[in-house]
Amino acid sequence: MAKQKPRTLSGFLELLPEKQVQFDRMVEVLRRCYSLYGFTPLDTPLIEASQVLLAKGGGETEKQIYRFTKGDADLSLRFDLTVPLAKYVALHYADLAFPFRRFQIGKVYRGERAQRGRFREFYQADIDVIGDGKLDIVNEAEVPAIIYSTFTALGLRRFQIRVNNRKILNGFYAMLGLGEQSAAIMRTVDKLDKIGPAKVRELLTETELALPPDAAGEILNFMAIKGGNQEVLSALEGYRGRHPLFDQGLDELSTVVNYLAAFGVPEGHFVVDLTIARGLDYYTGTVYETAMLDHPEIGSICSGGRYDNLAEYYTDKQLPGVGISIGLTRLFFVLEDQGYLNQGMNTAPADVLLLPMTDQLSTAIAAATALRQAGIRTQLYTEQKKFKQRMSYADKLGVPFVLILGEDEIAQEKVTLKDMATGQQQTLPLEEAAQQVLAYLRQFDQMTPIIDT
Amino acid sequence: MAKQKPRTLSGFLELLPEKQVQFDRMVEVLRRCYSLYGFTPLDTPLIEASQVLLAKGGGETEKQIYRFTKGDADLSLRFDLTVPLAKYVALHYADLAFPFRRFQIGKVYRGERAQRGRFREFYQADIDVIGDGKLDIVNEAEVPAIIYSTFTALGLRRFQIRVNNRKILNGFYAMLGLGEQSAAIMRTVDKLDKIGPAKVRELLTETELALPPDAAGEILNFMAIKGGNQEVLSALEGYRGRHPLFDQGLDELSTVVNYLAAFGVPEGHFVVDLTIARGLDYYTGTVYETAMLDHPEIGSICSGGRYDNLAEYYTDKQLPGVGISIGLTRLFFVLEDQGYLNQGMNTAPADVLLLPMTDQLSTAIAAATALRQAGIRTQLYTEQKKFKQRMSYADKLGVPFVLILGEDEIAQEKVTLKDMATGQQQTLPLEEAAQQVLAYLRQFDQMTPIIDT
């Protein structure tokens, strides 16, 4: 028969078993962390009616969308988890209690140009808190705490959460009389890191923006405000009283910063950064980015912010919220690429590979059943192979223990347990073997999926 | 602004939060059970190249496939987890150790006619054991043990695993000289339950099959073999020696039956049923179906079998295997519909709703942080609402405990813990409150997602 060459689409991550275990472990940590903060899991369809999914219309994203027809239906794959959330909340409004706190970890689809480390199918891991009409500022302070505890639980250490407030930026440009141009100015200011202040000044004054030199100077001075969080807040106090939106943003930012210590976020992991704006139009208050300090080239690994109107395309209800998103597939790719994945994790499919050496398998099967009842992942190996091949299979799987059951063992009512790391072998009662395996496994309980030294 | 009416596509299940928690709990039980038997998790892409996914071609399924183009690419959504597994194993053959045991729980897509309880997007939960060239028969005996322990862990009791062997059927028809017609005969015999033996006899002799009456009689006698598993095996022994394929099938079935006691499967949960054939052509040995005894109308909730060649469309390697699949979305729908879901489960998004009664939140935030560190899912509620509204929010969420922190409590370094079920309220140190909550939560550890009395 003619064969079809098997392949996986470019831009679609397909992991080998050990890596999949590491990926799943990260997902598990995220689920646990998000749950601890009172977020409930959701799982919405991957396909939505295009009319519904693209209600907002336009934008760069639309070109990337996987859109197709099935029968009469015009369908699209979701490209993020926010639009489906907006639809969900508008649709199920009457059944939900607000604030509604949900997390969702799921795949989304964007037909981006394929390149290394960019994916067309990728996991996002989102949390959002949605209020009905109003939403308290404390939620905006809690979000960095969640980011902090989540990345810490993953094992990451050298990261920094960067926070700003869109009201401060918008208020600042309004006080300079530049409200209308603020979006274009922010795009230029965003280049500060890359091209430096002199070039940015040139762009601000000499391109179509054509700002007066003193306005450009004010902007660059403002963006140069740096230092400890209290220092930055003090410097911002110097601008107070010139525009109400700015003042409101400064109050919010101060509240967020002041609650963070109570939330247990160490000062070093959190910084006010006036250059953070976030591209998306719909953020209206606090905005977040998260940087890996040793890998600035990666960009933000967790971003989000406060928005005033989640579901305006579906409902007249005012539904403000705050949320963040982790691009999990890309993060995993980067962590693997940079050697951050914990190599000490137990990624074998089983904890014990049980090798029966007799034709009668009942004792071996009963032993496997007992080990499983004790919570030990056990594989019974019954293929007709030589002992050496069996051991090499155990090696290839990376199982930590092999349990041998031959005639001698059965006669003695014992088993032989081989520790694959040390090569040590002991003949002992099954119950004791199980205890040894469980003791070994407990060392992994506190292990994080990432090692960041 | 004109609003787009929010809706979810018909045939796509979208759950409310409490139901989602119950669904997720079932997934968690499946993951744990599958893992205990040494299966490793996989997560392949939802989209594949159509050329690859449809390599086998033809068939009823192909009409239902979601197929579309993106740029130059002809793409399809997976319609099961078996074809992607075949591709995976063929593609990554060199990196895998055989037998390769994997589980996958993921969404698949079939554009079926929408009707109640039928889904176009649904979860399948599959396990497969793939051998390289050969695969020992013991794997076929282990599969019903996995089905048994999985459904038992879910909380189901009144179910029965029905087992047959395709070699017995094919050998039986071959010994009657009806090998060529066996597929058509099996389709007719499959109607036994519905139309009874007299009608089946008519169809066998009078339609285009036109079997001689004695052949039809032999078939009906064979299919009428019923009784305890040993009785059925004894009756089958009466046919031994007439066709080698039959004899081989009988040996296999006997081996499977005889090992099942060692695997801990009670006799009542397992029956040899000669009418089970499974439609799919590629099963070649043991086949399985699982029935809910009180709901025969539902059909099989877990099916599968042994096949000789998983990936023949992709590789010359002979890769025999055995696997089963649970249609999880449909199963969940049926269980919910029939009132099987455990209503006593904790489906609230948080275990504790923390209500600060002071403007200064630092103590409340620190208490929330401490509770989370103790593993208690805690939501801090800071919206500016009246006490009554806060309590009604707690009620609507279904949180088991509310923790109140007012000035009195803060002055005493205590908290007030309200048990929402009993209405009882105590003022006590935070540490003791946490212990009470943890004690309450432990009752759920042994709880199954399903209650089947």
What is residue B125's three-state secondary structure?
strand
Tell me whether residues B47 and A9 touch, CB distance under 8 A: yes
Q: What pLDDT score does B58 carry? A: 63
Span A290-331, pLDDT tens digits: 999 999 888 899 999 999 999 999 999 999 999 999 999 999
Q: What pLDDT score does B315 carry? A: 96
**Hey, of A1, A5, A62, A110, which one would you mutate to test binding to chain B, going by the most B CBs within 10 A of its CB?**
A5
- Mean pLDDT of the region B248-256: 97
- Selecting from B20, B92, B384 the residue whose C-beta is nearest the C-beta of A136 gives B384
Q: How far apart are CA B390 and CA B380, in angstroms?
A: 11
Question: Looking at beta carbons, which residues of chain B come within 8 Å of A353?
Answer: 38
Q: Which of 98-137 (A) contact B at CB < 8 A? A: 99, 101-102, 107, 109, 111, 121, 131, 134-136
Residues of chain A with pLDDT under 70: 1, 58-60, 280
Q: What percent of chain B has pLDDT over 90?
A: 85
Q: CB of A228 within 8 Å of any CB in chain B? A: no
- Mean pLDDT of the region B347-351: 97
Residue B281 has pLDDT above 80, yes or no: no
Going by C-alpha positions, the residue among B325, B288, B296 that lies closest to residue B162 is B288
Question: Looking at beta carbons, which residues of chain A come within 8 Å of B134?
Answer: 383-384
Rounded to a whole number of angstroms, the distance from the CA of A119 to the nearest CA of chain B is 11
Q: What pLDDT score does B397 carry? A: 96
Q: State the helix-helix crossing angle for A138-154 and A17-36, rounded to 10 degrees.
A: 150
Span A395-412, pLDDT tens digits: 999 999 999 999 999 999
Buried b (16+ CB within 10 A) or exposed e, A319-338: bbbbbbbbbbbbbbbbbeee
Which token pair is A408?
């001698």
DSSP letter for A48, please.
E
Question: Looking at beta carbons, which residues of chain B come within 8 Å of A377?
Answer: 35-38
Task: Tell the burial category of B13 from Cβ atoms under 10 Å away from its Cβ (0-12, 13-18, 19+).
Answer: buried
- Selecting from B9, B21, B121 the residue whose C-beta is nearest the C-beta of A49 gives B9
Q: What pLDDT score does A115 carry? A: 85
Strand order in the sheet with B378-380: B378-380, B352-356, B401-405, B415-419, B425-428
Question: Looking at beta carbons, which residues of chain B come within 8 Å of A15?
Answer: 42-43
Tell me whether residues A262 and B365 touch, CB distance under 8 A: yes
Span A197-247, pLDDT tens digits: 999 999 999 887 899 999 999 999 999 999 999 999 999 999 999 999 999
The count of other CB atoms within 10 Å of the CB of residue B410 is 18
Span B420-446, pLDDT tens digits: 999 999 999 999 999 999 999 999 988
Q: What percent of chain A has pLDDT over 70?
A: 99
Q: Which of 194-223 (A) contact B at CB < 8 A? A: none
Beta strands in B274-414 (DSSP E): 283-292, 303-307, 321-327, 352-356, 378-380, 401-405
Buried b (16+ CB within 10 A) or exposed e, B358-376: eeebebbbbbbbebbeeeb
Query: Considering only alpha carbons, which residue of chain A is nearest residue B22?
Result: A41
Q: How far apart are CA A313 and CA A90, in angstroms?
A: 9
Q: DSSP letter string over B211-256?
A: --HHHHHHHHHHHT--SSHHHHHHHHHTTTTS-HHHHHHHHHHHHH
Which token pair is A390?
């069996």
What is residue B133's three-state secondary structure?
coil
Q: CB of A361 within 8 Å of any CB in chain B? A: yes
Q: CB of A91 within 8 Å of any CB in chain B? A: yes
Residue B7 has pLDDT above 90, yes or no: yes
| pLDDT range class, residue B280, cuts 50, 70, 90 | low
Q: CB of B14 within 8 Å of any CB in chain A? A: yes
Tell me whether residues A68 and B69 touch, CB distance under 8 A: yes
Residue B120 has pLDDT above 90, yes or no: yes
A398: left (phi over 0), alpha (psi -120 to 50) or beta: left
| pLDDT range class, residue B36, cuts 50, 70, 90 | very high
Rounded to the nearest 10°, the torsion over CA B17, B18, B20, B22 is: 170
Q: What pLDDT score does B186 carry? A: 86
Question: Looking at beta carbons, which residues of chain A come within 8 Å of B393?
Answer: 97
Rounded to a whole number of angstroms, the distance from the CA of B234 to the nearest CA of chain A is 22
- Residue A100, Cα to own-chain centre: how many angstroms? 20
* pTM for the structure as a whole: 0.96
Residue B38 has pLDDT above 70, yes or no: yes
What are the residues facing A159 on neighbouring strands? Answer: A292
Which residues lie below 8 Å from residue A417, measured CB to CB, with a gap of 6+? A401, A402, A403, A404, A425, A426, A427, A428, A433, A436, A437
| pLDDT range class, residue B453, cuts 50, 70, 90 | confident
Q: What pLDDT score does B283 carry? A: 92
Q: What pLDDT score does A19 carry? A: 97
Q: How far apart are CA A320 and CA A135, in angstroms?
A: 6
**Hey, of A42, A382, A444, A446, which one would you mutate to test binding to chain B, going by the most B CBs within 10 A of its CB?**
A382
Question: Looking at beta carbons, which residues of chain A come within 8 Å of B90?
Answer: 6
Q: What percent of chain B has pLDDT over 70?
A: 99
Quick check: A334 and A117 in contact, CB under 8 A?
A: yes
Residue A180, amino acid: E
